[in-house]
A = this chain, B = another copy of it.
Amino acid sequence: MKLSDIGEFGLIDRFSKDFLKNLPKDITGIGDDAAVIPWNQKQSLLVTTDMLIEESHFIKSTISPEELGHKSLAVNLSDIAAMGGTPTFAFLSLGLTPDLTVEWVDRFFKGFQSLAEKYSVRLLGGDTTKSKESIIINVTVLGNIQNKHIKFRSNASLGDLVCVTGKLGDSGAGLKFLLEQKPLSQTAKRLIRHHHQPEPHISEGQWLGRKSGVHAMMDISDGIGSDAKHLIKSSECGIDIYLDRLPLSEDLKSVCATHKWNAYKLASSGGEDYCLLLTVDPKAFAKLSADFLATFHRPLFMIGEVTGNIGILNYSLHEKPYTFENSGWDHFKKH
């Protein structure tokens, strides 16, 4: 059987069963943004890891070494943010191709280190090795969290409001420009920057982690189309997404108008937004969203609702059902 027959998530399901068997109840393994390991009676250790491979995840000629250093740490910090946690330590494995110079590696570290310092994350180890054809980057990040503040994917409740902490689709549009090799306007360059230098929502995650009205939380890495399905599976619920509520930037709207791109598709399946997707007790929403705005000077966007249609993700546009061909990224499926 080929990997493309079962896909990335089919593969994870296939092997994770064995590893989740007999896992102590207070440990969270495969299936959330980060693993949760009890540290003491009050705190837990969070662990997450992500691999970036040249050509599959980035195109070397289009991304600066600083951006790549930033991004490879950012995607992991985002996973810690998704649990409500505080990142602490990082471990970096690098597979470096023979064409790279010491200067390139210096610039990569500059980008990595600059983001690490911003969030007081310390690099404590790693591995450097030679790679024949592709640059490989694997980052593992540890974090900590108060047990009472951990937000799991599995905690969504019927009737919860589905929210996101930032605009969607800019990163996906940036990637589309890179892949379609269109001439790059200033707007396109700004969108590409969202793709290359995502800002993890650490402060937002920590703040939301402390709110009891926030039930489930995860980060948006594959696009809400795919990520909401993970939440649905973990929480055994359904989700309705109101496409007209998706927060779109002026830049995204402008390039979609120019190039006749479907902005809703980019916002729901472009992926790599690295903001947070959460479900909120509807009774808590008014105060939570007002406090979020007052704290972060940006709105918390309500984009849908948790339903009882177990396993079902529905989209609607102006209250009418809406269907996409593809919804979300799977590394092994053909796109």
Contacts and interface: CB of A to CB of B under 8 A. Distances in A.
A158 interface: no
Contacts of A27: 122, 124
B128 A95 contact: no
A102 B49 contact: no
Contacts of A28: 124
Interface string A43-57: 001011111010111
A101 interface: yes
B128 A49 contact: no
Contacts of A40: 40
**Copies of this chain held together in the complex:** 2
Given A23-B122, A105-B11, A140-B140, A35 B89 contact: yes
A313 interface: no
Interface stretch (A130-138, A196-204, A226-234): A130-138
Interface in A13-45: 14-15, 18-19, 23, 27-30, 34-35, 37, 39-40, 45
Nearest to A126: B49
Contacts of A4: 98
Given A102-B14, A133-B133, A51 B109 contact: no
A1 interface: yes
A39 B37 contact: no
> Across chains A and B, which 6 residue pairs bring their CB atoms closest together, nearest first?
A138-B138, A35-B124, A51-B93, A1-B102, A29-B124, A19-B123
5 contacts: A1-B101, A6-B102, A11-B102, A51-B94, A136-B138
